[in-house]
Amino acid sequence: MKFSAALLLTPFVLFASAAPNASPATAEEAVKEKIAAISVREVSPVELHARAPVTGTVNGDGVRYRRCPYTSCEAVGQYNRGRVITIICRTQGESVNGWNWWDRMDNGYYISDYYVDWTGGVPDVC
């Protein structure tokens, strides 16, 4: 008995093409929504500035920076008052003196935002 490849594959092709609740219009709309979400839109200079790295100045002596935004993480080093740092973004972590924001620096480490004065805008949230 001879079978053609088309006959053997037909049930699989029919099954695969009959997805429940899928219509070409819905799929097309979903793609359009994704494209709209990732497309470049016109933004104000303030928005662009907020998305760029921000500079900050350390306002205390012996302020430790760490591998994660918690004091239980390893302290990698420390900065003294006046040290200028580049902040990529900020995230929430352990509270330091009632302030739970931490700044992620361009070196990949975290410093408690309690000890940093932003001098170049407001950092994005990570």
pTM score: 0.60
Cβ–Cβ under 8 Å, residues 109 and 87: no
Q: 46-59 burial by CB neighbour count: b if 16+ within 10 A, else e?
A: eeeeeeebbebbbe
Name 91's bridge partners. 102
- Which range (28-37, 59-68, 112-121) has the least confidence? 28-37
Q: For residue 122, give the nearest of 89, 99, 79 by alpha carbon.
A: 89
Token pair belonging to 116? 């940093």
Q: How far is the C-alpha of 122 from the C-alpha of 62, rounded, in Å?
A: 24
**Helices (H), ranges, 18-122:** 24-38, 45-51
Structure confidence by residue, pLDDT tens digits, 42-98: 444 554 444 678 999 999 999 999 999 999 999 999 999 999 999 999 999 999 999
Question: Of residues 80 and 36, which shows the higher confidence score?
Answer: 80
Q: How far is the C-alpha of 78 from the C-alpha of 54, rounded, in Å?
A: 19
Cβ–Cβ under 8 Å, residues 78 and 125: no
